[in-house]
Structure 1
Amino acid sequence: MIYILLFFISFSITYFIKNYMIKKSFVASVNERSSHTVPTPHGGGIALAITWFIGLFYLYFSNQIDLNLFYALLFGAVISVVSFFDDIYELSPKLRLIVQAIVAIGGLYFLGGFETLTFGIFDIQNPIFTNIFAFFMIIWFINLYNFLDGINGYAGSEAVFLSFAGFILFSGNHFLVLLVAVLGFLYWNWNKAKIFMGDVGSTLLGYNVAIFTIYYSNQESANFWIWIILFSVYWFDATLTLIRRKLNKEKLSQAHKKHAYQRLTQSGWSHYKVTNYSIGLNLVLFIIVYFIPNIFVAFMIALIILVLSMKFVDNKKRFE
């Protein structure tokens, strides 16, 4: 019952925000980085965030969530609030990075740090190295999720997939809370979007994925690679695109439309088709994780599929 209620909270707040933003003319303008062609209201992530934190407190008061995980996830409110103001006032990149660093440190503190980075044949347990790695991973996940929030349903469907996969593999009612919080927003963002998520939603989702990765890795070190595989559609695209742009000697802070999902839309695919393509790819990755017991074999197979998928995108629209 609580999850149905949370869904309708997210659904209703998104609807209210959509109408309010239209009335006040707070719409996302079309620019050189945009994948949309019609000015559309943004800020739907506010509904997602509010519902998510309401659900978190419900889990806390009903003793359904580990306290370390609760406080780490709750600290994500900082990134949501700052991103809300960034959506409105366009804060400086330096200020955003400082806040992201603070949030990364806070999240790691509440989780007790990142204990072990395993590579199968050897483990790295030096707390200095593992926590520095985790610190930059959290910041990267926050930003790459923001980078890849650019077409209808794309960021929301990724969060739904990760929530669903997380619940199947690890249980935990926090995944159900995130699932319904995103679904309430996604109704208004699917196919022909009536509202966009904005940074307030995308940065929070990126932070949550990073926290889940570290939390479950601390329970079992091999779980790190499970989350890396599940989230690989996003990090592979964002990381490879960043490397390619660096090799092209481009200014990395400059707006661009070179991510795989953007190039697919440029090739003539609709937002709906690109989002469905990513959902299909995610389901393949989940099947790999679920049925292949050796996680490192699973990772190599997933990596091969990702490389082939990127070659497919390159054939549709060459990276220039």
Structure 2
Amino acid sequence: MTLIIGGLVVLALTWALTGLLRRYAVHKQLMDIPNARSSHKVPTPRGGGVAIVVVGLLALPALVYGTSVSLDSAIAFGGAGLAVAAVGWLDDHGHVAAGWRLLVHFLAAGWGLYWLGGMPDLTLFGWTMPGLWLALPALVWLVWLLNLYNFMDGIDGIAGVEALTACASGLLLAWLMVPEAPLALYGVMILAALGFLVWNFPPAKIFMGDAGSGFVGLWLGLLSIYAAHQAPVLFWGWVILLAMFVSDATVTLFFRWCRRESLFEAHRSHAYQHRAAQWGHKATTLFYGTLNVIWLLPMAWWVVSGGIEPLWGVLLAYAPVVFLVYQFGAGIRHVER
């Protein structure tokens, strides 16, 4: 009963705070104004993701006190998330040079990784990779996730639906593998994303903004490592669950890099942006979320349950997703019609 009440509080508080932030953004004229690189057509308030940040940080002490979430885990998620949200908030309200942002991102990722106890040992083809060897790849994984989440937060609802479906799937996998594992951290992100989506689902009344998208992206990455400490194979499950966002962003940035275009410049060449131009925001967002549930979740369970070697499972899960985003035009310059 206590967990149910706590969950309802998280949901209601995120919903209410997002509404207050919308009023604040309108009053202060913190608006995303449509331009040639935008996927929306009307000025829309931004910064609503701060509600997820605030509620997520406030929930951590309660989780430590009322559940089996450890203090070290709360310090990992709280400190790392706060740092990334702070630099994102500054960027939302002005401009922070890409180099300084990236430095904060690596420091925040390192903080989270350290307090979670680093990477656990992972096994591939019967060979155990020591967690110490995986520290640098894990750091890059976290920084890439938080940045790609910002890149992918470009149409109504897509970032919130990704957080909702990925976390719900991750919670299910963890519960099936380790029923006694603490699952409250997953629940906080699920319910906070749901409360935010009330305002952000197409047609969006407010956007997430850099502070929220970076925070959510980093928390999803930290959850993948948190899950790996519950059962190492769960890490591979999370790699699969995030395949839609990882593939779209990575393929897009690869082709932009090949053309020697700036990787930090705003653009409309992601696969989801091409789809939104043809299908609309709602259909595109629902399509990405549906694939998370009907394709990536079963593939992740196949790996987690031991039905297939993790590397083969990851490759099989990603292959059609990479092909799909390529077919959708990931990395191709958007042409106005």
- The 5 Å alignment of 1:229-244 reads 229-244=240-255
Give % identity.
32
Partner of residue 179, structure 2: none
Shift, 1:318, TM fit: 8.3
Deviations 1:131-150 (A, max 9, x none): 11111111111100111000
- Asked if residue 302 in structure 1 is aligned to residue 313 in structure 2, the reply is no
Q: Distance in 2 between matches of 1:37 and 1:197?
A: 17
Q: Distance in 1 between matches of 2:328 and 2:20?
A: 37
Partner of residue 273, structure 1: 283
Partner of residue 153, structure 1: 157
Count, aligned residues = 316
- Asked if residue 139 in structure 1 is aligned to residue 143 in structure 2, the reply is yes
Tell me if structure 2 keeps the 8 A contact 1:115–1:125. yes
Tell me if structure 1 keeps the 8 A contact 2:67–2:184. no
Tell me if structure 2 keeps the 8 A contact 1:56–1:177. no
Q: Distance in 2 between matches of 1:68 and 1:32?
A: 45
TM-score, normalised by the number of residues in structure 2: 0.88
In structure 2, do the counterparts of structure 1 residues 9 and 311 end up closer, same or farther at CA, with 3 Å as the change threshold?
Answer: same
Tell me if structure 2 keeps the 8 A contact 1:32–1:255. no
- The 5 Å alignment of 1:174-185 reads 174-185=185-196
Deviations 1:143-193 (A, max 9, x none): 001110000000000000122112211140111111111111110000100
Partner of residue 5, structure 1: 9
Secondary structure of the residue aligned to 1:91 is coil
Q: Distance in 2 between matches of 1:123 and 1:305?
A: 28
Secondary structure of the residue aligned to 2:93 is helix
Deviations 1:57-80 (A, max 9, x none): 211111331333222111111211
Q: Distance in 1 between matches of 2:145 and 2:101?
A: 14
In structure 2, do the counterparts of structure 1 residues 280 and 312 end up closer, same or farther at CA, with 3 Å as the change threshold?
Answer: farther
Shift, 1:210, TM fit: 1.3
Shift, 1:31, TM fit: 2.7
Tell me if structure 2 keeps the 8 A contact 1:144–1:234. yes
In structure 2, do the counterparts of structure 1 residues 308 and 22 end up closer, same or farther at CA, with 3 Å as the change threshold?
Answer: same
Tell me if structure 2 keeps the 8 A contact 1:116–1:218. no
In structure 2, do the counterparts of structure 1 residues 214 and 11 end up closer, same or farther at CA, with 3 Å as the change threshold?
Answer: same
| Structure 2 unaligned blocks of 5 or more | 176-182
- Asked if residue 186 in structure 1 is aligned to residue 191 in structure 2, the reply is no
Runs of 4+ in 1 over 6 A off after TM superposition: none
Q: 2:270 aligns with which of 259, 264, 271?
A: 259
Q: Which one-letter code corresponds to 1:206 in the other structure?
A: G
- Asked if residue 287 in structure 1 is aligned to residue 309 in structure 2, the reply is no
Q: 2:76 aligns with which of 72, 79, 86?
A: 72
